[in-house]
Amino acid sequence: MPEIRGFLLDENLSPKLKAGFGPDVTVLHARELGDKPADSTLWTYAKAEGLVIVTEDADFLDYVLLEDGPPPWVVQLRCGNLRARPLREFLEAQWPRVLALLPEYQLLQVHVDRIEGLG
C-alpha cells in the first residue's frame, strides 16, 4: 500500500479548512496549482505526490472507477452545505475514522451519519 503524503483540497472547499488538518500535515488547496485547475490536473498532481483529494464533487468517482488503486485517494464530503467553521468541526470529528479507513478504500464518502468506502 502506498503511503499517504498529504491532502489536496478541491476548489469547491474553503482554503480555511487547511488549518483543521494540523501543523505537521501537508495540505494544499487547488488554487495553489493555478486558477481553477481542471479535475484531471488535480488527479494527476495528487497521484504523483501521493495525496488524498478532499472534495464535495462526485466528479472524481469516474477517475476512481478507471484506476487500479491509489494513489490518489478521494474523500468525498456528502454532509450538506456547511460553512467553513462547521465543516471544519465536522471533519475534525470524523477525521480519525476517515484516516483509519483510507488504507482499505480508494474512495470514501463521508455522510453526516456514516462513511462509505469504495475500491
The model's pLDDT over 4-35, given as tens digits with 9 standing for 90+, comes to 899 999 998 988 888 777 778 899 999 999 99
CA gap 114, 93 in Å, rounded:
12
Grid cell 471533519 is found at: 91
Q: Please give the sequence-ordered ranges of beta strands (E in DSSP) within 10-50, or none if there are none.
A: 27-29
Cell of residue 77, nine digits: 464530503
Phi/psi at 87 (5° precision)? -65, -45
Q: Please give the sequence-ordered ranges of beta strands (E in DSSP) within the chain, or none if there are none.
A: 6-9, 27-29, 51-55, 73-78, 107-111, 115-118
Q: Could you tell me the pTM of the whole model?
A: 0.91
pLDDT value, residue 33: 94
pLDDT value, residue 1: 63
Ranges of the chain with pLDDT below 70: 1
CA gap 85, 44 in Å, rounded:
29
pLDDT value, residue 50: 94
CA gap 47, 92 in Å, rounded:
24
Say if residues 27 and 9 touch (Cβ distance below 8 Å). yes
